[in-house]
Amino acid sequence: MLSFDDLKTQVSSGLVDTVLVCLVDMQGRLMGKRFHAQHFINGAWEETHCCNYLLATDLEMATPDGYASTSWESGYGDYVMKPDLETLRPVPWLDGTVMVLCDVLDHNTHKEVPHSPRAILKKQVNRLKAMGYDAMCATELEFFLFEQSFDEIRKAGFRNLAPISGYNEDYSILQTTREEHVMRPIRNHLWNAGLPIENSKGEAETGQEELNIKYAAAMDTAEYHTIAKHAVKEIAQQQGHAVTFLPKWSHEKVGSSSHVHQSLWQDGKPAFYDESDDLGMSALMKSYMAGLLKYAPDYTYFMAPYINSYKRFMKGTFAPTRIIWSVDNRTAGYRLCGAGTKAIRVECRIPGSDMNPYLAMAGMLAAGIAGIEEGLDLQAPAKGDVYQGDSGLIPGNLRDAGAALKASEMLRTALGDDVVDHYVRAAEVEIEEFERVVTDYEIARGFERA
């Protein structure tokens, strides 16, 4: 990490000439501007501006209607990007470059825009702090690495995709050695950017990778996740390869997830741990987990925000299908990890690799808070293969998840009506866009035979 004084020294010595000034958009991407470093130091460190459509757009940067926050009618005005100098860090994979993340403020009031992902997570973290707890989280990033580059794949119409390996490389040292020209700079550059990288490994499919980052405070974890995801794409491209965080790029392959580990701490100690309990679970943890389970449909949209997200939820693929918890069981939507130890935590296995970590973790924290406030009792853990059964299913498509979000009184109380309605509209936009498109599947299936 860098202090502002460090930056001034590096700029004056010529080591740094560019500052990436970034916000996190609805999709969890970094958007912003590249500043000449001296201009940033001279004054831009206080604020800059951006079009307010950046928090009311889709993956294609379209300007769909129906958002209360901005529109063609209102003229698409400005937001203020307020650099958070605590997030200033080097970007070692780009020469002479550093990065800072911004809070997004209303141009007139200078208050945080409530539907900004950073503001949404910050609100839930602060609710827990007011209760005396610190939210601790970690995310696992899974993605696929391909032989071709992004440009080659795009020019070929996203067809004939070739993963970098030809077989399931889960935990394989032999195959991952062949991928070290990509994965080694990812680990090392991110470490040098101030991210506490633990390891990378081959995952359970051809060309599938996993990157693990150390458990940290929730806001830090969301920051690490977002920067790492961005860096993986840039570093892979530098080595001539493409990666995808699409949860299901082929129906013949397993999908990519982003499991979220979470626990609460109090006064520097794990508040989820009780040595007198058979599993080591405190009463607080049980109520928190009961909230996660009760309200899982409400925040599923934040864990699975696109049409493709729901193609991943299939039996026998290590992706969950049911809202259920179990002890160290990878077939459950919620897995108890570290039972009987101070490292006890809950792993939510529902989110896909396309999630926005700020939104997904905010939804989970809000549900956990609701469980604590309502004093919910936790059901007994499931045993065996929990793919068996048809009760407590995860919403099976984006339409159902969007409807659950819209109807969620819990999230309307926790996040605000305007925020919920904003993201309900985002779900509707994805559905409307998909429904107007004729797919290759439809043509191949029905061109002659329909």
How does strand 18-24 pair with strand 97-106? parallel
**Residue 174 clears pLDDT 80, i.e. is over it:** yes
pLDDT band for 384, please (50, 70, 90 cuts). Answer: confident
**Residue 72 clears pLDDT 90, i.e. is over it:** no
Residue 248 neighbours by CB under 8 Å, 6+ apart: 255, 256, 308, 309, 311, 312
Structural domains for the chain: 4-113 (3.10.20.70), 123-443 (3.30.590.10)
Mean pLDDT for the stretch of residues 442-450: 93
User: What per-residue confidence (pLDDT) applies to 121?
Assistant: 98
Residue 298 neighbours by CB under 8 Å, 6+ apart: 363, 367, 404, 405, 407, 408, 410, 411
Q: Mean of the per-residue pLDDT values for the chain?
A: 95
pLDDT band for 365, please (50, 70, 90 cuts). Answer: very high
**Residue 155 clears pLDDT 80, i.e. is over it:** yes
Closest CA to 23 of 113, 129, 130: 113
- Tens of pLDDT, residue by residue over 268-319, are 999 999 999 999 999 999 999 999 999 999 999 999 999 999 999 988 777 8
pLDDT band for 406, please (50, 70, 90 cuts). Answer: very high
| CB distance 99 to 20 below 8 Å | yes
Residue 393 neighbours by CB under 8 Å, 6+ apart: 321, 322, 323
Q: Rounded distance, CA 298 to CA 420, Å?
A: 10
**Residue 426 clears pLDDT 80, i.e. is over it:** yes
If 0-12 CB within 10 Å is exposed, 13-18 middle and 19+ buried, where does residue 433 land? middle
- Tens of pLDDT, residue by residue over 182-201, are 999 999 999 999 999 999 99
Mean pLDDT for the stretch of residues 243-265: 95
**Residue 17 clears pLDDT 80, i.e. is over it:** yes
Of all residues in the chain, what percent carry a pLDDT higher than 90? 92
User: What per-residue confidence (pLDDT) applies to 267?
Assistant: 95
Closest CA to 371 of 285, 261, 300, 297: 285
pLDDT band for 34, please (50, 70, 90 cuts). Answer: very high
pLDDT band for 75, please (50, 70, 90 cuts). Answer: confident
Least confident of 79-83, 166-170, 410-414: 166-170
User: What per-residue confidence (pLDDT) applies to 74?
Assistant: 85
**Residue 320 clears pLDDT 90, i.e. is over it:** no
Mean pLDDT for the stretch of residues 1-11: 95
- Tens of pLDDT, residue by residue over 201-227, are 999 999 999 999 999 999 999 999 999
- SS3 (DSSP) at 337: strand
- Tens of pLDDT, residue by residue over 255-265, are 999 999 999 99
Least confident of 81-90, 326-335, 427-436: 326-335
**What's the distance, Cα to Cα, between the start and end of the chain in Å?**
60
Of all residues in the chain, what percent carry a pLDDT higher than 70? 100
| CB distance 371 to 291 below 8 Å | yes
**Residue 352 clears pLDDT 90, i.e. is over it:** yes
Query: How many residues comprise the chain?
Result: 450
**Residue 331 clears pLDDT 90, i.e. is over it:** no
Q: Is the dihedral of CA 143, 144, 145, 146 positive or negative?
A: negative
Greater model confidence, 331 or 443: 443
Mean pLDDT for the stretch of residues 67-89: 92
Residue 229 identity:
K
